[in-house]
Structure 1
Amino acid sequence: MKVNVLLLVAVGITRRQAPFGSVAFFAVLSHSMLHAGENQNIVFDTVQSNIGNGYNPHQGVFIAPLDGTYVFHSSIVAYPNLEIWCLFVINGIPSSAIYAHRTDYHLDCGAQMIIVTLNQGDDVSVQSKAANDAIYGNSWLYTTFSGFL
C-alpha cells in the first residue's frame, strides 16, 4: 500500500513540471554591443523563458538537451548608420545569415528562422560575422534569439 501512495505523489510532482521533452527558450539583448568581435557569440542576456535549460545566457549558446527537430529564430537590429551581418552557427559550422542596415532615425531589423535536426549536446548560437560590428539593443528588447523542439 505504501508503494502505491509514493507513486501517486511522484506522478503529482511530474504534472507540475514541464512535460517530458519540452524544450523552448526566448532571450533578448538588453544593451547595445558596439564592438562585437569576428565570429563572437551574441550573448542574449535577458532570458524570458528557458524550458529544459538548453540556453546558456552567459555564453549565448543553446545546447540541445534532447535529440529532435528544432526551430530557431533570431531578429537583429543594426546600430545607427551601420550594417550588421550575423550567422546561425551549429556545432561551429555557419548555417544561415542575418543582415540589417540602419540609417538615421529608421530601425532596420534582419531576421531569420531555421529548422534543424540536432542530437543531444549539439550547440546553436548566433554570431557576429565581422570584427567591430555593432548590434542595437535596449529596454524595448528588439534583438532576440529563440527556439523550441
Structure 2
Amino acid sequence: MTELKAPDIYVALRELTASLVQLKADMATGQAQLKAEVDKQKQQLQVRQVAFSASLLAGGQLATTGPFPKDTTLIYKNIITNIGNAYNPNTGVFTAPLKGAYHFEWTVGARGDNGAHSSAAGLVKNSEHIFMAWDEQETKHFGTASNGVTLLLEVGDVVFLRLVANTMADDNAYHLTTFSGNLLFPM
C-alpha cells in the first residue's frame, strides 16, 4: 500500500478547494439565471392578463349623454376592473398590448322620450365599424341594448365605442351603459 506524501495531500486539497469554489460560482450563476427566467415568465404572464369593465358614469342620479350632431367616442369613467391597464379612462380607448383574441361586450341604456331619440353605441376597431347596440324606447320606461364580439387584434390596435349621431346613452346608479373586454388567449 502506498502512502500519500504530505506534498501530494496539499496538492489534492488545493484542487478540491478550487473545484468547490468553481462549483459554488457555477451554482450562483445558475441561480441568477433561474431567477431571471422566473422573473421573465412572471412578466409575460402579467402582460397576458388583460381585462377591463367600466360604466359610463360613477353613479348617482340619471344622466344622459348626447345627442350630439356627429358620432362621438364614449368615455367610460367608472372603472370597475382594468387589469393590464389597456383601457384608458381619459380617452375611452382600449389598446391591445399583445396580439391575440379579445372579447368585448357593451350595453347602452335607453330612456323613452316618445321616440325622439334612440340609444345607439357602435364598436369600432381602429377606424372600422364592427357591431352596433341599438334601442328605442317609445314610452318613458328604461331599456338597454347590448352586443358582443370576439376580435383578433394586433399589438397597438384600438377598440372603442361611439355614440351614434343624434342618439343618447343614459346611465345612473344601476350602470346601464357599460363597456367590458378581456384577452381570451394570446396568438
| Fold shared by both chains (TM-score > 0.5) | yes
2:51 to 6, 18, 24: 24
2:79 to 12, 24, 47: 47
Task: Report the counterpart of residue 94 of structure 1 in structure 2.
Answer: 129
With over 3 angstroms needed to count, the CA separation of the structure-2 counterparts of 1:115 and 1:143, relative to structure 1, is same
Q: How far 1:19 moved relative to its partner?
A: 3.5
The answer to whether the 8 Å contact 1:37/1:128 transfers is no
Q: What SS does the corresponding residue of 1:113 show, helix, strand or coil?
A: strand
2: CA distance between counterparts of 1:95 and 1:4?
Answer: 49
Matched, 1:71 2:103: yes
The answer to whether the 8 Å contact 1:76/1:142 transfers is yes
1: CA distance between counterparts of 2:69 and 2:120?
Answer: 12
1: CA distance between counterparts of 2:181 and 2:69?
Answer: 24
Q: How far 1:104 moved relative to its partner?
A: 3.5
Q: CA RMSD in A?
A: 2.6
1: CA distance between counterparts of 2:47 and 2:96?
Answer: 14
Task: Report the counterpart of residue 180 of structure 2 in structure 1.
Answer: 146
CA displacement 1:3-23 (0-9 Å, x = unmatched): 8379659958x86xx744011
Larger radius of gyration: 2
Structure 1: runs of 5+ lacking an equivalent: none
Q: How far 1:138 moved relative to its partner?
A: 1.2
Q: How far 1:92 moved relative to its partner?
A: 0.9
Q: How far 1:107 moved relative to its partner?
A: 1.4
What residue identity is the alignment partner of 1:27?
A: A
The answer to whether the 8 Å contact 2:109/2:144 transfers is yes
Instruction: Choose 84-93 or 27-36, whichever is displaced more.
Output: 27-36
Q: How far 1:103 moved relative to its partner?
A: 3.7
Q: How far 1:35 moved relative to its partner?
A: 3.1
State, as a whole percentage, how many aligned pairs show the same letter: 27
Task: Name the structure with the higher strand share.
Answer: 1
1:97-112 to 2 correspondences below 5 Å = 97-112=132-147
The answer to whether the 8 Å contact 2:122/2:132 transfers is yes
Task: Name the structure with the higher helix share.
Answer: 2
Instruction: Choose 109-118 or 95-104, whichever is displaced more.
Output: 95-104
CA displacement 1:38-63 (0-9 Å, x = unmatched): 22111111111111111011111111
